[in-house]
Amino acid sequence: MLRRKACQKTLKHVDKGKRAVDRAMFKSVPMKKIRAIIYEKYVDDTIRTIGELGVIHLINIGDKLEEFEGKITPVEPGERYYKILSLLSRVERLIDDLQIKRKPAAEKTTVPRTPSDSFIDDIEKEVKQIESESTRINKEIEALKEREDEPEVKKQINSLRKQLDGIAEKNATKLLAFEEVLEIEKEVEETKTFMGKTEKTYILEGWVPIEKVGEVTETILKVSDRSSIVEVIESDEHEEKEKPPTLLKNPKTLESYETLTKSFGTPSYGEIDPTILMSITFPIFFGLMFGDIGHGLLLLVVAILGLIGKRKNVDLGEIGNYIIKGSTLLLFCSVFSIFFGILYGEFFGFSIYHEEWYAHGIGPPLSFLRNILVYIFILFDFDEGVVRLTNKELCEELGLEYIPGPPHGPIWFSPFHEPWMLFILSIIIGAIHLSLGIFLDVVNKIRHGEYLEGIFGPGMWLWFYIGLIRIVFTKNIVFTEWFKDAPISQPAKFVASPVFLLLILPLILMFIGRVVTEGPIEGGMSVLESLIESISNTISYARILALNMAHEGFSKTFITLGGVNPEHGLAFTITPMFTVSFLVGTIFVMIMEGLLSFIHTLRLHWVEWFLKFYEGEGVEFQPFKIERYYTITK
């Protein structure tokens, strides 16, 4: 009866789990903790079966014995474990000494599903025989090494080495199979030490993705002849001791971005996973810094070659493998480099916006992109940018003085010639990015039940920060200008002013809220820290301009050293001096500026953005998993 109720309770979570997965946008996969009570005679088979499923993150019951009030005891490794460990070490040494490569097997070796002690003894006998033979030959080689310069002795050594190669070839499949069997048995014995034990049963606990609970339950019941008890242990996910491990479920194309997220820290269970959002902003920031059609195309070639190498499992060493693993990220970054290169009118450092094919070919169809930028500048009251980019009619409609720009310019602007445009755009992008980060902190805190902290912490900060950006763009950065329409001597007018409503009021509420939730000293310091970060973090996004200026500056400098003016477009004579200078400059820019752009883009995400909402103190979901490459069970 008890078993039936526990199973019914477990299976009830399956449908709930599927619905929860659908709601888990930007969150880790929902988890449930299960507990299984298994009779001793079924425990080994159960461990192997759940290992083959590979969906249970085991919990070490030895760390929480007090919860069971002395009714269970920890499981210590037995004699079988140490015997297997010793034998496995000998097999691994043999494989290394005989230089056997661990490559996919053409044909797998059939082994028993549950290797008995006698089967392990048989492995030991065969290993001992191979050891004896290889040791004898190695001793003979060692004895002859002192005279290896002699032709006859050299022949003997070569002959002995061929015998070793023969032993390796003859026993490679067998030794790899032995290694796999022993490794699996070692894992089975080690898994037992995570369990608790009564006189006749073992108790197993672990975290399982909620949609897999039904499958795991049925598997354990089936392998134990339905004699086990499996139940879901309900727990409050807000309690620290009950924090489940984190399993992220992002599209495979975002694997590189997920790696960057985990490199900062694995998200805590229930914490927002920023991978998807970062996959959008990361290539945009990189493209703004590294915007050039030609350099973007070269980066695209590298990305495509990396993807091909990844598909074919090519090994290019430590640095080369980093490029292969990050080829998807490079692909996105290269596309946005080309995109912004088109908007800037830059091609390998040459200004191409005077070219006929650019000005009258691709320029007019893409003019809507200029309009998008104009609307962004209008939203942030950046009148100079609107005047520079738009036409006379719109300026008159907005009440702005129209100043004609160059007849043939970039679709957007040239950061090299008009750096102030990219500077303001960088600050706008920073404001949007940071506002998103603070908003995500509000969401995180509310998800974790910290309603008061969410409202009076990041909630008030977001109100203050948006107000600060609004005041700066509408009244400029001169602090005294902010209070012209808000005289403190007239309280009614002051309280109704934008400065009070957008800055002072949220600041007061943030201070009161944080003093209540964190205490007077810590609360006051955190408010001061928020004020400083509001300014310093926003200014930090000016590095987008700095990196772009360095990129274009170096590109144009090397072209100029080659005797060509980069501002005159692509109409020039190719000389040996130009060829050398251009190639050296391109290599330098691709490596140095590409690397710097990547590092600073990563910094904007890790330091300026992540620290607004992301803790990254979770434990990664690591399921107990048994994988077979050289053996099959009978």
Kindly list the averaged pLDDT for each block of 10 residues, start to end, along the chain of length 634. Answer: 45 45 65 93 93 94 84 89 95 92 85 91 94 89 79 83 89 93 94 92 94 94 92 68 87 93 92 94 97 96 92 80 89 97 95 88 87 90 82 66 64 93 96 96 89 91 94 77 69 78 90 87 90 94 96 95 90 90 95 95 96 92 93 87
Predicted pLDDT of residue 408 = 63
Tokens matching residue 118: 């006698």
Beta bridge partners, 208, equal 32
C-alpha to C-alpha distance for 593 and 600, rounded to whole angstroms: 10
Please name the residues in contact with 381: beta carbons below 8 A apart, sequence gap of 6 or more.
473, 474
Predicted pLDDT of residue 218 = 94
Predicted pLDDT of residue 392 = 63
C-alpha to C-alpha distance for 534 and 526, rounded to whole angstroms: 12
Residue indicated by tokens 């650019």: 358
Question: Phi-psi category of 529—alpha, beta or left, where left has phi over 0 and alpha has psi -120 to 50?
Answer: alpha
Predicted pLDDT of residue 243 = 84
Beta bridge partners, 34, equal 206, 232
Predicted pLDDT of residue 18 = 42
C-alpha to C-alpha distance for 96 and 84, rounded to whole angstroms: 18
Beta bridge partners, 36, equal 204, 230
Predicted pLDDT of residue 140 = 85
Q: What pairing do the DSSP bridges indicate for beta strands 109-111 and 631-633?
A: parallel
Tokens matching residue 28: 């880790």
pTM of the model: 0.86
C-alpha to C-alpha distance for 488 and 475, rounded to whole angstroms: 18
Kindly list the distances between the CA atom of residue 150 and the CA atoms of 138, 297, 608, in Å, as whole numbers in the listed order. Answer: 19, 59, 69
- DSSP H or E run through 203: strand 201-209
C-alpha to C-alpha distance for 331 and 337, rounded to whole angstroms: 10
Kindly list the domain boundaries of the chain, sorted by start residue.
79-192, 355-408, 450-539
Predicted pLDDT of residue 480 = 66
CA angle 396, 399, 403 (to 5 degrees): 60
